[in-house]
Amino acid sequence: MNPLVLLLLLLPVLEIAVMIQVGTWIGAGPTVLLIVAGFVAGSLLLRHQGLATLRRAQETLDRGELPVGAVFQGFCTVAGAILLMIPGFLTDIVALLLLLPFPRDALGRWLLNRLRAAGSLKVWTSGAPGGPAGPTRNGPHAGQVIDVEYTEVAADAPRLEESRWGADGGKGPERRP
């Protein structure tokens, strides 16, 4: 059986067992209040950090940098907020690990190393001014890469103006009625 499926099947059982144990230690009322507080904290965090993540990624792109770090931190923040909203203490512990900077950065380094080792990490850039790809233009499309496939056309081929896509719709001087 897939370990992820097994985890998803066992998670509710483990969460209930932990809630019962915490309820015996601190009482039923405080346990319910902790679960409600986790939900409220997660929903507030999700509301405030969702669009802020997109804004940070856009600012990173505007500076000409890859937004990998901003996107990863945003993903961890959103995932942590969603996990806080799920009732239970085990998911809250995982959420806190995703929200705290040190464990989140360690997870990011580990994932990056795994992607590099697997050969799954490929980044294409146009380079920065003076960088290995040479200088880039200034303007709204600076650094934009356009991937194109082309076919060479013989010199005696019809010109664009004479084709159906030309300005006169292919009605060159010899085709006009």
Higher pLDDT, 149 or 9: 9
Whether 78 contacts 49, CB under 8 Å: yes
pLDDT at 64: 75
Task: Give how far Cα 96 sits from Cα of 76, 83, 100, 162, Å.
Answer: 10, 9, 6, 66
pLDDT at 121: 65
DSSP 157: S
Confidence check: pLDDT of 68 > 90: no
pLDDT band at residue 128 under the 50/70/90 scheme: very low
Report angle CA 121, 94, 109 to the nearest 5 degrees: 25
Confidence check: pLDDT of 127 > 80: no
CA distance 177 to 171: 9
Whose tokens are 């097994």? That residue is: 6
pLDDT at 122: 66
Q: Which of 72, 61, 67 is nearest to 106 (CA)?
A: 72
Give the rounded distance of the alpha carbon of 93 from its chain centre.
23
Confidence check: pLDDT of 96 > 60: yes
Confidence check: pLDDT of 87 > 60: yes
Percentage of residues in the chain having pLDDT higher than 90 = 32
Q: In the numeric block, which tokens belong to residue 73?
A: 């931190």
Higher pLDDT, 130 or 61: 61
